Amino acid sequence: MRRVFVFVGLTVSLCLGSVAVGQQPTGRGRGGGRGTPIQAGEACPPGTTEIRPRSCMAPELPAPSIVDYRPHSTLVTPVHMVKTAKYPAIDFHGHPQGLLGTPEGLASMGASLDSLNVRMMISADNMSGDRLKNTITSIRGSEKMKDRVRVLAGIDFRNVGPGWAQKAVAQLEADVAAGAVGIGEISKSFGLSIKKPDGSRLKIDDPELDPIWDAAARLKLPVFIHTADPQEFFQPIDYSNERWLELALFGDRRYPQDRFPSFETLMTERDNLFRRHPKTTFVAAHLGWHANDLARLGKMFDEMPNLYSEVGAVLYDIGRQPRGAHDFFVKYQDRILFGKDSFQPEEYPYYWRVFETRDDYFDYYRNYHAFWKLYGIDLPDSVLKKVYYANAEKITRWIPR
């Protein structure tokens, strides 16, 4: 077997005019002649790429930057665009923000949601007090939208210390009385940057916060929480970082490790919180930032029956592993909720296409998120129904069925 392999390899090398292993490059054959040899396991020098085993070469033409390189795929395969969801969806991770405050805003949002088959928008805009009341009054004033928008209550994590919990629980109870159906979105600043009055970082599992999580359990409110950010945002910004372009574009997504806690520190604190409050229902936003490691999220689901998760803004990771993601969604079909995050109506159909089709190799809506294409994960109807609406209905009281 080994001899055959060597023979075939040699033939290919000869046909392509390459340099045999161990020889110094000579002349300018087709492609191989200018190769710079490297050792096994060594990377090619900057500006060159590996053209044959252990031989690197620079392009003859000036290389475009990654910003300008936009190759058009020549792949021809069946295309199934999905403009409207197959089943009426609940967007658990909504940020309609200003649209909820006026009849015109609500009407325009309603028209967009109709065209997408999104039945219900859960506003995760971290509202409380008068702002929450005014928003709910505005929603209730809309004949068309009054049963199609619900609002989560925000928690104010400033000044956590003696007396904080009592005030926070009282405010939460008032917000629930005003019509809030859950808590959220607890933002990533909780853990990353919010400080206690003594200047120390407020840790996600700080025991002073326990009364608010217990109140959530007592009031049967799901807690929608966004912790940290993609793990690459905590890594050095070098050319092996998958999110180099995004980090180069948006400075506020960089978490230099001399100024911010590590990704793993935040995950540990978050998981401590979930474990310590088994009667509280938590919904980890963005698949807990483990969409690139679904086995890790699966272990969390196995260990923590009070944990749910939501798919907003991580479609690039779901769609690049169609077989693994399919199996994961089937296995954990009772734990995953649909959510979109930033409200851009034209982006929802990408989610429908990934969830509902078997399409191959299609574009994602944000190039800077992902240097790769997406594939449909072809979920069965029974799973689609749970992800699109049934799981959200199950954990959220007071949403119209």
User: Where on the chain is the footprint of Zn ion (CB under 5 A)?
Assistant: 185, 341
Q: Among residues 37 and 345, whose Cβ is nearest to Zn ion?
A: 345
Q: Among residues 232 and 341, whose Cβ is nearest to Zn ion?
A: 341
CB of 126 to Zn ion, least distance (A): 9
Q: Among residues 185 and 232, whose Cβ is nearest to Zn ion?
A: 185
The DSSP result for 251-312, as a single string, is GGG---TTTS--HHHHHHHHHHHHHH-TTS-EEEGGGGG-TT-HHHHHHHHHH-TTEEEE-T
Instruction: Give the nearest residue (CB) to Zn ion.
Output: 185
CB of 364 to Zn ion, least distance (A): 19
Class of residue 390 by CB neighbours under 10 A (exposed 0-12, middle 13-18, buried 19+): middle
Q: b vs e for 213-244, b when ≥16 Cβ sit within 10 Å of the residue's Cβ?
A: bebbeebbbbbbbbbbbbbbbbbeeeeeebbb
CB of 95 to Zn ion, least distance (A): 6
Query: Cα 189–194–200 angle (5° rounding)?
Result: 140
Q: Among residues 91 and 341, whose Cβ is nearest to Zn ion?
A: 341
CB of 289 to Zn ion, least distance (A): 13
Distance CA(161)–CA(199), nearest Å, equals: 12
Query: Cα 298–233–276 angle (5° rounding)?
Result: 40
CB of 242 to Zn ion, least distance (A): 21
Q: Among residues 51 and 149, whose Cβ is nearest to Zn ion?
A: 149
Q: Among residues 185 and 246, whose Cβ is nearest to Zn ion?
A: 185
CB of 154 to Zn ion, least distance (A): 12
Sheet with 282-284, strands from edge to edge, namely 336-337, 307-310, 282-284, 223-225, 183-186, 149-153, 118-127, 89-95, 341-342
Distance CA(360)–CA(324), nearest Å, equals: 15
CB of 223 to Zn ion, least distance (A): 14
Q: Among residues 169 and 337, whose Cβ is nearest to Zn ion?
A: 337
